[in-house]
Amino acid sequence: MNSKEQDYVLGTHDAEIGRLQLQHGIWKQHVRDCWQRAGIAPGMRVVDIGCGPGFASADLAERVGAQGEVIGIERSERFIAFAAEHCRARGVANVGFVMADVMQDELPVTGADAVWCRWLAIFVSDPALLVQKMAGMLKPGGKLIFHEYVHYETYQSVPPSPRIEEFIAHVMRSWRDFGGEPNVARYLPAHLAAAGCRVLDTRPISFSAQPHQPVWQWPASFIDINLQRLLDLGLVDASWVAAVKDDMRRLEADPNALLITPMVLEIIAEKA
């Protein structure tokens, strides 16, 4: 595994790809509605920055149609390979992938109509630079579109579980230890203004789900996969992990239980 794979905060392994696919399915309609509000239309040239395994890239390619183009930018060789195969399997031909580190490399795109950014800014050490680089890829009047967390602490269970609250605190601290900021969306409007962009629309998005509802699997799968990550990092011990899993089993057995997801802020901005 190369160093760029190793320093992915949440990993690039099969279980994480599966979680990202589940996550994309849960968010798919909200994302499509966002793209429509942002004016993404057939014939446009759109960048999916930090595209991961390419699930959104393929959807964007279908939205812009054969006369449009999607460029996915991603630094993980494993994600790029998966994304290319995923698009081939779906018969999507108008999407290409560039392997680049969005924070360190020159990005080979200019004059794009829109840049889509989802859950990337939370992991970078300089979100202001990320916004500047996104703006640099756009033509005047082009759109910058974000889905980023604004209040991660809304991630919780009903009834409350102190151990799940501890899990959320550990996750937030570990992301900050890697140089990221879980609530980065709070700072994006100022970064956009500094980059010569104006915010057109914002809206908060959060879900709640009972154990029998499909949405439950999104926050539940994150807990399941990232307990092992916290253990590997030495932030917790095996007995604590077992206790969190016990709490999750109790919640899943309670038809009145809820998992409430971390709040995302949708931002649609325009380059001057």
pLDDT of residue 11: 58
Work out the burial of residue 39: count CB atoms within 10 Å of its CB; fewer than 13 is exposed, 13-18 middle, 19 or more buried.
Answer: middle
- pLDDT digit string (tens) for the chain, length 272 residues: 444 544 555 556 777 888 888 888 899 999 999 999 999 999 999 999 999 899 999 999 999 999 999 999 999 898 999 999 999 999 999 999 999 999 999 998 999 999 999 999 999 999 999 999 999 999 999 999 999 999 999 999 999 999 999 999 999 999 999 999 999 999 999 999 999 999 999 999 999 999 999 999 999 999 998 999 899 889 999 999 999 999 999 999 999 999 999 999 999 999 99
264, 148 in Cβ contact below 8 A? Answer: yes
Task: Give the span between the Cα atoms of 262 and 215, in whole angstroms.
Answer: 13
Both tokens assigned to 77: 């060789």
pLDDT of residue 12: 60
CATH superfamily of 3-271: Vaccinia Virus protein VP39 (3.40.50.150)
Q: Domain limits of the chain? A: 3-271
Q: How many CA atoms lie within 13 A of 68 on its CB side?
A: 23
CA distances from 19 to 3, 69, 143, 219 (A): 22, 27, 28, 10
pLDDT of residue 20: 83
Amino acid residing at 143? K
- Three-state SS string over the chain comes to CCHHHHCCCCCCCHHHHHHHHHHHHHHHHHHHHHHHHHCCCCCCEEEEECCCCCHHHHHHHHHHCCCCEEEEEECCHHHHHHHHHHHHHHCCCCEEEEECCCCCCCCCCCCEEEEEEECCHHHCCCHHHHHHHHHHCEEEEEEEEEEEEEEHHHCEEECCCHHHHHHHHHHHHHHHHCCCCCCHHHCHHHHHHHCCEEEEEEEEECCEECCCCHHHHHHHHHHHHHHHHHHHCCCCCHHHHHHHHHHHHHHHCCCCCEEECCEEEEEEEEEC
pLDDT of residue 154: 96
Question: Judging by DSSP bridges, how do beta strands 258-260 and 208-209 pair with one another?
Answer: antiparallel
CA distances from 164 to 23, 154, 178, 252, 255 (A): 20, 12, 21, 13, 18
